[in-house]
């Protein structure tokens, strides 16, 4: 390319400055640790109070929500035999259900996972039970 050396250096400096600014001003807010319930429970003290994402299966019969009742949602997520009580304070996704797979964002406070963000497996997965056989703890008879 027939650009002068000065132009090239100038362009390089501008690009480097822009990238530098962006990286330095990154608060790290979007980057979270993600783990399964058993990994979280393996070292509770390390994770206590930090915002993170937890992946697990909603324990059958653990959802304390009945139609038309007040109150926040309480349930238990489990994985590999480890259980974690959850206190959830937002609209649950429409696909939220017992024995369903969920990923919760929140903090572990006094042994309860306080969360206000949840994603549940999308309903495009009618075939869940086929793939689920590989997932430890899932009941293969019940699908999404």
**Binding residues for other proteins, per CB under 8 A?**
1-3, 7, 11, 18, 22, 25-27, 29-36, 38-39, 41-43, 46, 52-53, 55, 65, 67-71, 80, 90-98, 103, 116, 119-128, 130-132, 134-135, 143-144
Structure tokens at 48: 């206590």
Smallest distance, Å, CB 77 to other proteins?
A: 15
Q: Of the two residues 72 and 85, which places its CB atom closer to other proteins in the complex?
A: 72
Phi, psi of 116 (to 5 degrees): -130, 20
With beta carbons less than 8 A apart as the criterion, state whether 107 and 89 touch: no
Smallest CA-to-CA distance from 104 within 127, 82, 75 is with: 75
Smallest distance, Å, CB 125 to other proteins?
A: 6
Q: Of the two residues 112 and 125, which places its CB atom closer to other proteins in the complex?
A: 125
What lies within 8 Å, CB to CB, of 136 at 6+ separation is 79, 80
Smallest distance, Å, CB 102 to other proteins?
A: 9
Q: Of the two residues 66 and 110, which places its CB atom closer to other proteins in the complex?
A: 66
Q: Angle at Cα 113 formed by Cα 111 and Cα 116, nearest 5°?
A: 160
């Amino acid at each position: 390319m027939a650009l002068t050396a000065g132009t090239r250096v100038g362009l390089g400096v501008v690009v480097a400055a822009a990238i530098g600014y962006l990286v330095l001003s990154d608060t790290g807010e979007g980057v979270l640790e993600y783990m399964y319930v058993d990994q979280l429970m393996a070292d509770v003290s390390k994770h206590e109070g930090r915002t993170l994402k937890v992946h697990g299966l909603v324990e059958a019969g653990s959802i304390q929500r009945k139609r038309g009742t007040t109150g926040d949602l309480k349930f238990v997520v489990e994985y590999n035999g480890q259980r974690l009580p959850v206190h959830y304070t937002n609209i649950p996704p429409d696909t939220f259900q017992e024995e369903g797979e969920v990923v919760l964002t929140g903090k572990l406070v006094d042994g309860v996972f306080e969360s206000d963000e949840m994603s549940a497996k999308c309903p495009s997965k009618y075939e869940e039970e086929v793939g689920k056989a590989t997932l430890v703890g899932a009941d293969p008879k019940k699908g999404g």
